[in-house]
A and B are shown apart, each in its own frame.
Chain A
């Protein structure tokens, strides 16, 4: 691992009306590292990550990519820095087919400047088959696809454009055990290629084994960051539920979990 983090987010804050969704949170990510971003629903995980993916501009704080200040105002800027996001909702246009979604906003064009449907289909076939060899109905609207296939399209879109930083928001929430295992396998593979991954989840069991570090948020504030090798699941659970670091907890706090 190098010394320069791929991503450094410093003192990010975001307020929606009366709600302080993210309050002065700092987080970083190194190449080839998986960082779990944990917390209850409404803890601010998704909003924090959306400031990185360009979907929500932060009120204050700054973001550095490879040590240099990055100006991320919209999703296209983020893509320009190699930041790709798999949203919890998958963000697919249901009426378009798999290639249409994979290349949405970044279409392959012919030399006449028109959409090159055949080239996009061929590229889609390559990348999707790597994820899901049984996936053949690429030209159907994604509306007609299974949950796993839709997920494959969303993941394919994120990895096709040589992402260096991947944000996965609850990537396995809608998947069966087999597909979940496939996603876990993929995460390990991407990690070995040096890609940094933020893994967002409200469920510690989804991320603990995959993550190198976890950052826990509660009510928009950062509780703390710990290496998974140095803490137990119960201790992280304590951080999520109580909003206290393991060393601040006392016996009484933890009793209730078991």
Chain B
């Protein structure tokens, strides 16, 4: 017994050192790398089991579009959970805001008016913010636990979605609006996809050069140049590979490439904004501080209540954005929209490394989590796994992911 433990120690130590060396050279979280690795393994297994269907451009295009709704809401759920709260109402909020958007667009405003659909989006976003205010107020200023407030919201806003039209489905949506859902015309085409891809690549290079220069100016540690080049090459492969795949899926009965779907563009914008908010704004810093040590945050003079309220406002707005994509994709508003989405959103955040104890989580991780979940879902549909069985498997994956996470953190 003793011999075993002593023999195991140097090996563990070696592993730990290798991990630390990797982290300090590339400046990336190895946990994130492990997630990417897990995603690739899942993809390879699914590709083999589906005889390659899983990795066809058509399926990857669908996978990307399917991941957007959960992904968008998961970026907000990260902040909610990091701040030591939870939001069980996101699916219902999506339902209510989506129904309001649909009802205004189809039944209130004149159909075909050029201002119709943009105005309904504004109304939807404002309603999302308002709902966030309502829930955030009870949580932050009245001290009702988020679990209870959002559980109530889960019921209230699901009921609200039904009440708006007495349960009627509202359709069809504006033709231009449908583009936001990523349907047949819902992508930006061959040319603009490449333009965006190349611009993104230039931006990646510019940002990494800028931050190198800035690190140097302040005498902070800089990654070795080769590590920087490797990272840029990986980013280039991902960006250009993504554009190429999206351009390899054609519109039906033609050879016209679709290009990047509009909802995926919306997701990318949301990720950029939320990543920015969580990493380099005071608001994001305070959310993390509150999650790490609420008392310390308070003693540092942070307005904890206002910050908490704002977290829920952000979450509400993200639900409304997800509602826009959902209604555009369905080409309708139905009162069952977003049903049980809260579970997928929380699972995506947690699989993506957000700690339910608060203080730890990342927007990029949550997106990876959403893609992992959607890949399993999508792959199992291709394999004709029954929906009951899919739920069982996704549940098991959730436990496995959190177990892995806690093991990983304990070893550090």
| Chain A residues bordering chain B, tally (CB within 8 A) | 33
Contact (Cβ within 8 A) A93 B359: yes
Given contacts A95-B288, A95-B360, A96-B288, contact A55 B299 (CB under 8 A): yes
* Residue B289 CB within 8 A of the other chain: yes
- Scan residues 141-163 of chain B and give those whose CB is less than 8 A from a CB of chain A: none
The complex places the Cα of A107 from the Cα of B219 at a distance, in Å, of 19
Q: Given the known inter-chain contacts A87-B299, A104-B302, please indicate yes or no for A95 contacting B359, CB distance below 8 A.
A: yes
Q: How far is the CA of A117 from the CA of B217 in the complex (A)?
A: 12
Contacts of A55 in B (CB 8 A): 298-299
B220 lies within 8 A of A115 (CB): no
Contacts of B412 on A, CB cut-off 8 Å? 144
Which of B221, B281, B291 contacts A95, CB < 8 Å? B291
Q: Is B301 an interface residue (CB 8 A)?
A: yes
With known contacts A79-B301, A93-B297, A115–B289 Cβ distance under 8 A: no
Q: How far does the alpha carbon of A93 sit from the alpha carbon of B412 in the complex, in Å?
A: 18
Q: Is A121 an interface residue (CB 8 A)?
A: yes
- Shortest CB-to-CB span from A87 to chain B, Å, is 7
- The reply to whether the CB of A94 lies closer than 8 angstroms to some CB of chain B is yes
Structural contact, A89 and B295, CB atoms closer than 8 A: yes
**Given known A104-B302, A118-B214, A118-B215, contact A94–B282 (CB-CB < 8 A):** no
The answer to whether A91 and B285 touch (CB under 8 A), given A118-B215, A122-B218, is no
Is A134 an interface residue, CB under 8 A from the partner?
no
Q: Which residues of B contact A125 (CB under 8 A)?
A: 219
Cα A113 to Cα B46 with chains together (Å): 45
Could you say which residues of chain B place their CB within 8 Å of the CB of A144? 412
- Report the Cα distance A9→B301, complex, angstroms: 22
- Contact yes or no, B293 A93, CB < 8 A: yes
**A122 CA to B218 CA in the complex, in Å?**
6
**Within 8 Å of chain A (Cβ to Cβ): is B300?**
yes
Chain B: interface residue total (CB-CB under 8 A): 30
Residue B167 at the chain A interface, CB threshold 8 Å: no
Report chain A residues within 8 Å CB of B291: 95
Find out whether the CB atom of A93 lies under 8 angstroms from the CB atom of B296: yes
The answer to whether B217 and A118 touch across the interface, beta carbons within 8 angstroms, is yes
Is B57 close to A, CB under 8 A? no
With A55-B299, A105-B301 as known contacts, state yes or no: A118 contacts B218, CB within 8 Å. yes
Decide yes or no whether B280 CB sits under 8 A from chain A: yes
Interface centre among B214, B218, B276, by most chain A C-beta atoms within 10 angstroms, is B218
Decide: B292 and A93 in contact? CB cutoff 8 A: yes
Among B215, B276, B280, B295: residue with most chain A CB under 10 A = B280
Contacts of B214 in A (CB 8 A): 118
Docked complex Cα distance between A114 and B218 (Å): 17
Contact with B along A77-97 (1 / 0, CB 8 A): 001000001010101111110
Asked whether, in the complex, the Cβ of B217 is within 8 Å of the Cβ of A115, the reply is no
Could you tell me if B301 and A96 are in contact, using CB atoms closer than 8 angstroms? Answer: no
The one of B219, B280, B296 that contacts A115, using a Cβ cutoff of 8 Å? B280
Contact call B282/A115, Cβ cutoff below 8 A: yes
A104 B298 Cβ-Cβ under 8 A: no
Inter-subunit contact B280/A122 (CB<8 Å): no
Residue on B nearest A92 in the bound complex, by CB: B296
B349–chain A nearest beta-carbon distance, Å: 16
- Bound-complex Cα distance A125 to B215 (A): 13
Q: Is the Cβ of B280 less than 8 Å from the Cβ of A93? A: no
Does A246 make an interface contact (CB < 8 A)?
Answer: no
- Residues of B whose CB lies within 8 Å of any CB of A are 214-215, 217-221, 276, 279-282, 285-286, 288-289, 291-293, 295-302, 359-360, 412
Q: A92-B293, A109-B282 are in contact. List 12 more A-B contacts (CB 8 A).
A: A89-B295, A93-B296, A94-B293, A95-B288, A96-B285, A105-B286, A106-B300, A115-B281, A115-B285, A118-B215, A121-B218, A121-B220
Identify the 10 closest CB pairs spanning chains A and B, nearest first: A93-B292, A76-B301, A95-B292, A105-B300, A95-B359, A122-B218, A91-B296, A118-B218, A104-B300, A105-B301
Q: List 30 A-B contacts (CB under 8 A).
A: A55-B299, A74-B301, A75-B299, A75-B300, A76-B301, A79-B301, A85-B299, A87-B299, A91-B293, A91-B295, A91-B300, A92-B293, A93-B288, A93-B293, A93-B297, A95-B291, A95-B359, A95-B360, A100-B285, A104-B285, A105-B286, A105-B302, A114-B280, A115-B280, A115-B282, A117-B280, A118-B214, A118-B215, A118-B220, A119-B218
- Which A residues are closer than 8 A to B by beta carbons? 53, 55, 74-76, 79, 85, 87, 89, 91-96, 100-101, 104-107, 109, 113-115, 117-119, 121-122, 125, 139, 144
